[in-house]
Amino acid sequence: MTNLNKGRVISNHLTKYIVEHKTEKFSLEVSGRFKYTAYSKSDYPVVGDYVYFRETNHNEGIIEAIEERKNTLSRLGISNVFNQQIIASNIDMVFICVSLNQDYHIRKVLNFLSMTQSNDFERILLFTKSDLTENYDEYINEVREYTDIDIKLISSFNESDINELKEFIDTNTCVFIGSSGVGKSTIINKLIGEQHFDTAEIRISDAQGRHTTAHRELITLDTGGAIIDSPGIRIVQSYIVENVEEEFKDIIDISNECKFRDCSHDREPGCKIQKSLEEGSLLEERYNQYTKAMKLNAHVKRQERAKGIMQNKRKK
């Protein structure tokens, strides 16, 4: 855009956005026109966005527009079940961090997999605190029943693990997500070589941690890559599952064996879904994930259509 600077959002604090342009950092706000044309909170800048801004004072300015996002990592908002909360944008990798202590549960892994399902970025399941167990295969085999996602083991006490992860990230932009206390901030501190993020001890009783990361922030590595840390996520629900056939292939395959093609999987005779649930070969939690994803997708798509109509009216 003519006469505007282009920078990347590295953090935001309420209505202020910290944007990196070349080697400088700017404190910016969005313009009045931007506020008028924005339909929802998800239209505002997020960490990872490239924005166009004009400088008003030294290292201060106004954001006029956001460059079209390559992709986003989103979840359902806490207050509104149908509200999209964007965690980060323009990313190449997502590390799903699950520690090998009491934090581990296959349901939690499946929830994170559903939330991060996308063809636009690579997903890696990062088993943290690998020094706490020698039974790696037990965890890996359980995950392999549902997905062939890439799995890596890491201990923040092992320097070779940190160096290997840093080489793997290379020049990519990656996001670390997971529950509080799984060691995200500790690993990131090791990767950047300084105590940038605060860390805290976990509770012995339930192996849960406190939210030591207060906000999302993008930090550039000396390799040219970038890391985005985020507050611990306790309630994990995807905003929309873009490829239901891929994410829930196990359920789709079972439903294809139903006697009737339009089977609702309720009480129809010859329903393979109900039979699998009764036999225990299909977890009820897994099936509930699928039905919820289908309902949310339908609702969200209706919302997105309404949003497009409203935005076009405002722009005119």
Beta bridge partners of 9: 19
In this predicted structure, what is the pLDDT of residue 85?
Answer: 80
* Other C-beta atoms lying within 10 Å of the C-beta of residue 257: 13
Beta bridge partners of 62: 29, 54
SS3 298: helix
CA distances from 255 to 146, 259, 288 (A): 16, 9, 14
Cα–Cα distance, 114 to 290 (Å, whole number): 9
Tell whether the model's pLDDT for residue 218 goes beyond 60: yes
pTM of full prediction above 0.75? no
Q: Which residue has the tokens 């290379």?
A: 170
End-to-end CA distance of the chain: 20
Tell whether the model's pLDDT for residue 39 goes beyond 80: no
Q: What is the CATH number of domain 244-315?
A: 1.10.40.50
- Least reliable range by pLDDT among 62-76, 123-137, 163-177, 209-223: 209-223
Cα–Cα distance, 205 to 236 (Å, whole number): 22
In this predicted structure, what is the pLDDT of residue 61?
Answer: 96
Better pLDDT: 168 or 120: 168
Asked if 62 and 54 touch (Cβ cutoff 8 Å), the reply is yes
Better pLDDT: 123 or 181: 123
- Fold category of 72-229 in CATH: Rossmann fold (3.40.50)
Percent of the chain exceeding pLDDT 70 equals: 78
Q: What is the 3-state secondary structure (H, E, C) of 204-226?
A: CCCCCCCCCCCCCEEEECCCCCE
Q: Residue ranges of the domains in the chain?
A: 5-66, 72-229, 244-315
Question: What are 223-250's pLDDT values in tens digits?
Answer: 899 999 876 554 444 445 556 666 778 8
- Least reliable range by pLDDT among 109-113, 124-128, 152-156, 274-278: 109-113
The domain 5-66 having CATH identifier 2.40.50.140: the answer here is yes
Query: What are the residues whose beta carbons fall under 8 Å from the beta carbon of 229, sequence distance 6 or more?
Result: 176, 184, 185, 188, 197, 213, 216, 217, 219
Cα–Cα distance, 187 to 91 (Å, whole number): 19
In this predicted structure, what is the pLDDT of residue 309?
Answer: 66
The tokens of 274 are what?
């109900």
In this predicted structure, what is the pLDDT of residue 243?
Answer: 60
In CATH terms, are 5-66 and 72-229 the same topology?
A: no
Q: How confident is the model at residue 105 (pLDDT cuts 50, 70, 90)?
A: confident
Q: Is 42 exposed, middle or buried (0-12, 13-18, 19+ CB in 10 A)?
A: middle
In this predicted structure, what is the pLDDT of residue 52?
Answer: 97
Query: What are the residues whose beta carbons fall under 8 Å from the beta carbon of 73, sequence distance 6 or more?
Result: 86, 87, 88, 89, 91, 94, 116, 118, 121, 175, 177
